[in-house]
Amino acid sequence: MSMPDVLLPTAHIEIWSDIACPWCYIGKRRFAEALESFDDRDRVEVTWRSYQLSPDTPVGRRVPEVEALVAMNGMPAEQVRQMFAQVSDTAADVGLEIDFDNVVAANTFDAHRLAHLAGDKRDEVLEALFRAHFVDGEVVDDVDVLVKVAAEVGLDPESTRAALDGDDPAGEAAA
């Protein structure tokens, strides 16, 4: 005699992150690997939430991340570089090649708007935004870069640009 199928509950996980946070990128990769190895991953529902670490970063400023952290935290540049080296080493452990020499400090509000506009492609957009920011040295507060990222994951570039040029904060992106 077999046991009747039991309807198991869905686990709801909310992840708050910022595209400008290297630990969020590392955590996203670690979470994805853990979820992939979880037998009941189809019972896990993930909701990505937006959080801006530095909402006051001016859009279009184009300052290297090292300089931005030195100015914001009053830390010596060498200390920031050492910190970045440790983060890069940790990132490499999960297969990420973060290049802080190319990272440009950016206001991530519109990048978060793009992630929320992406609907069921949100995870792909987030991955592409993290890669653009930390690996490729793209300026993720530039609308042209955001449209390019959107197109890379299969979103329509024209409607993406129109949405980003509008005033709608894309709901949760304002959170």
Looking at residue 3, its pLDDT comes to 53
Give the DSSP H/E element, type plus range, for residue 66. Answer: helix 65-73
Provide the domain count of the chain. 1
**Residue 56 is encoded by which pair of tokens?**
């006051």
pLDDT tens profile 142-155: 999 999 999 999 99
Confidence of residue 124 (pLDDT cuts 50, 70, 90): very high
- pLDDT value at residue 171: 41
For residue 2, pLDDT beyond 80 = no
Average pLDDT, rounded, for the chain: 90
Q: What percent of the chain has pLDDT over 90?
A: 75
Most confident of the ranges 57-61, 123-127, 164-168: 123-127
Residue 147 CB contacts under 8 Å (≥ 6 apart), including other chains: 157, 160, 161, 164
Which of 37-41, 149-153, 167-171 is most confident?
A: 149-153
Does residue 117 lie within any of the structural domains? yes
- CA angle 85–89–93, rounded 5-degree value: 165
Confirm whether 92 is domain-assigned: yes
In a domain, 101, yes or no: yes
Q: Give the range of the structural domain holding residue 119, as residue numbers without chain letter.
A: 11-168
DSSP class of 165: H
Check if the beta carbon of residue 45 is closer than 8 Å to that of residue 11.
yes
Q: What is the pLDDT of residues 56-71, one digit of tens each?
A: 998 988 999 999 989 9
Contact 112, 52 (CB under 8 A): yes
Q: Look at the chain and count its residues.
A: 175
Residue 139 has pLDDT above 90, yes or no: yes
Reduce the DSSP state of residue 85 to 3 states and report it: helix
Q: Report the CATH number at residue 128.
A: 3.40.30.10
SS (H, E, C) 36-94: HCCCCHHHEEEEEEECCCCCCCCCCCCCEHHHHHHHHHCCCHHHHHHHHHHHHHHHHCC
pTM over 0.85: yes
Would residue 174 count as lying in a domain? no
Q: Is residue 141 part of a domain?
A: yes
State yes or no: pLDDT of 7 exceeds 70: yes
